[in-house]
């Protein structure tokens, strides 16, 4: 099993969700996060004073999928989260050791 962590632009969440459900992903977790990468931060101006905001708001989505879906999920994320502009985010993939559905006790691929 694979565990995806993707950092995306907040307004891309619906596109990403649609793309993932289309290829059969049955759940994801999204959280509001702040961070910086090559985009650094952004500048806001209030009453003539510049404020550099060094942590930019992003969304972090997490998805657990069976091994065979890795390529498809990767491709769907890449397509749906991209604007081509700086600050589009990143995709990380981790090996997942175990998964359990709490209600039924089902494990591994059955729990995903």
Partner 1 sequence: MICFSNFFNFTKNFLIIVVFSIFSYPAFADINNGDTAWVLTSTALVLFMTLPGLALFYAGLVNSKNVVSVLMQHFALACMVSVIWVILGYSLAFSEGNEWIGGFSNIFMNAIDVNSPSGSIPESLFATFQMTFAIITPALMIGAFVERIKFSAMLIFLSMWLLVVYVPVTHWVWGGGILSSWGTMDFAGGIVVHATAGTAALVTALTLGKRRGFPKSITPPHSPILTMIGASMLWIGWFGFNAGSALGANGGAGMAMLVTHISAATASLVWMFIEWRRFGKPSLIGIVTGMVAGLATVTPASGYIGVPGGLVLGFFGGLFCYLAVDYIRGKLQIDDSLDVFAVHGVGGILGTLLVAFLATSTFSGLGLAEGQTAVSQFFVQLKAVVLTVAWTSIFTYLILKITSFIVPLRVDEQEEIEGLDLRSHGEKGYHSD
Binding footprint of partner 1 on the chain (CB under 8 A): 44-49, 51, 53
Would you say 41 or 66 has its CB closer to partner 1? 41
Q: Which two tokens stand for residue 57?
A: 């708001």
Q: State the minimum distance, in angstroms, from the CB of residue 53 to partner 1.
A: 7
Q: What is the smallest separation between the CB atom of 58 and partner 1, expressed in angstroms?
A: 17
| Residue whose CB is less far from partner 1, 48 or 105 | 48
CB of 39 to partner 1, least distance (A): 18
Rank residues 34 and 90 by Cβ distance to partner 1 and give the closer one.
34
Distance of alpha carbon 102 from alpha carbon 36, whole angstroms = 35
């Amino acid at each position: 099993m694979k565990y995806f962590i993707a950092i995306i632009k907040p307004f891309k969440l619906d596109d990403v969700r649609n793309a993932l459900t289309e290829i059969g992903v049955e759940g994801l977790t999204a959280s509001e996060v702040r961070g910086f990468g090559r985009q650094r931060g952004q500048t806001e101006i209030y009453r003539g004073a510049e404020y550099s905001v060094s942590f930019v708001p992003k969304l972090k989505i997490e998805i657990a999928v069976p091994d065979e879906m890795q390529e498809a999920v990767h491709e769907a994320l890449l397509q749906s989260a991209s604007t081509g502009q700086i600050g589009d985010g990143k995709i990380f993939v981790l090996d997942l050791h175990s998964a359990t559905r709490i209600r039924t006790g089902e494990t591994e691929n059955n729990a995903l």
